Amino acid sequence: MTKTLKLRFNRKQLCIPYAAFLILFVICPLLVIIYYAFTNGTGQFTFDNLVNFFSNTNTLGTLLNSIAIACVTTIVCLVIAYPVAYILARSKFRRKYVLLMLFVLPMWINFTLRITALKEILSFIEGNLAMYPFLNTVIGMTYDFLPFMILPLYTALSKLDKSLFEAAEDLGASSFTVFMRVVLPLSVPGIISGVTMVLLPSMTNYVVLDMLYNSTYIMGSLIGSYFAAYDWNNGSMISLILLIIIFIITLATNKFNDDQSSGRTVL
């Protein structure tokens, strides 16, 4: 008895290095961000950075703009990816994982190189990319994040029990009704995880815009410009605001997932 107790204790100690690492390099940086967000350059406590953010039309406009871009990108990705995932999941094609691979393979190619390719072809079609900044941003983000939407949707849809659709059809539902009332509600967890994979990066990945037409006007780029200006305090405030947004999104999606899983157990 004492022997096993002692050994258990040994195994538990293995988590100490990783716990220390997490505290030092994951928790501490966030605390430092909070500290810097509420101090000024000389280290005195202040709300100036917060006031700066909400009184400046430029930063506020950036916030609204990045929310708009993130929402539109997410919807476009969902509209493109859902049919793809649905067709793949229901297809009787034997080698369908090869097809799935084709759709998610770009995930492994460096995204800056993919955006370079997109930039070349968009410039060829449109000429000056800065003419349609919103459109090109959405195209760029969609190009970048589409695989991350397809994969979770496919996973959710391929797990669905096919006999449920047959049962609904036998009970007289049209294929449209089957989709709206059976397939769609059951694929909500996949939709949620796809949305979280796309929504957040498209609020912060300013490199896509920067590469396409040398401009940045989403939340992530504010951090970039404060970083370039060595303004740690205002940069920290933006990071903190982003952290709060991320926290809210994570809480909301977790709640949704819980509801969904409890709904499934009832079913």
Among 28, 131, 135, 167, binds another protein (CB under 8 A): 28
Work out how close the CB of 266 gets to another protein at its nearest, in angstroms, rounded to a whole number: 25
Nearer to another protein, 152 or 235 (CB): 235
Nearer to another protein, 16 or 64 (CB): 16
Among 1, 5, 64, 98, binds another protein (CB under 8 A): 98
Among 55, 58, 116, 261, binds another protein (CB under 8 A): 116
Among 106, 169, 216, 260, binds another protein (CB under 8 A): 106
Whether 50 and 237 have beta carbons less than 8 Å apart is answered as yes
Taking CB under 8 A as the rule, does residue 141 contact another protein? no
Distance CA 58, CA 160 (A): 46
Nearer to another protein, 18 or 267 (CB): 18
Distance CA 247, CA 145 (A): 21
Distance CA 216, CA 196 (A): 22
Nearer to another protein, 27 or 180 (CB): 27
Taking CB under 8 A as the rule, does residue 13 contact another protein? yes
- 54-93 mask for another protein (x: CB under 8 A)? --------------------------x--xx--xx--x--
SS3 45: strand
Instruction: Say which DSSP state 39 is in.
Output: B
Nearer to another protein, 175 or 263 (CB): 175
Taking CB under 8 A as the rule, does residue 15 contact another protein? yes
Of residues 156-215, those binding another protein (CB under 8 A): 196, 200-201, 203-207, 210-211, 214
Nearest to 205 by CA among 149, 114, 248, 141: 141
Work out how close the CB of 152 gets to another protein at its nearest, in angstroms, rounded to a whole number: 14
Distance CA 141, CA 74 (A): 9
Among 1, 2, 5, 18, binds another protein (CB under 8 A): 18
- Cα-Cα-Cα-Cα torsion 224, 238, 137, 83, nearest 10 degrees, comes to 130
C-alpha distances out from residue 103 to 1, 6, 188, 202, 203, Å: 54, 51, 21, 20, 23
Whether 239 and 146 have beta carbons less than 8 Å apart is answered as no
- 230-249 mask for another protein (x: CB under 8 A)? --x--xx--x--xx--x---
Nearer to another protein, 5 or 267 (CB): 5
Distance CA 60, CA 53 (A): 7
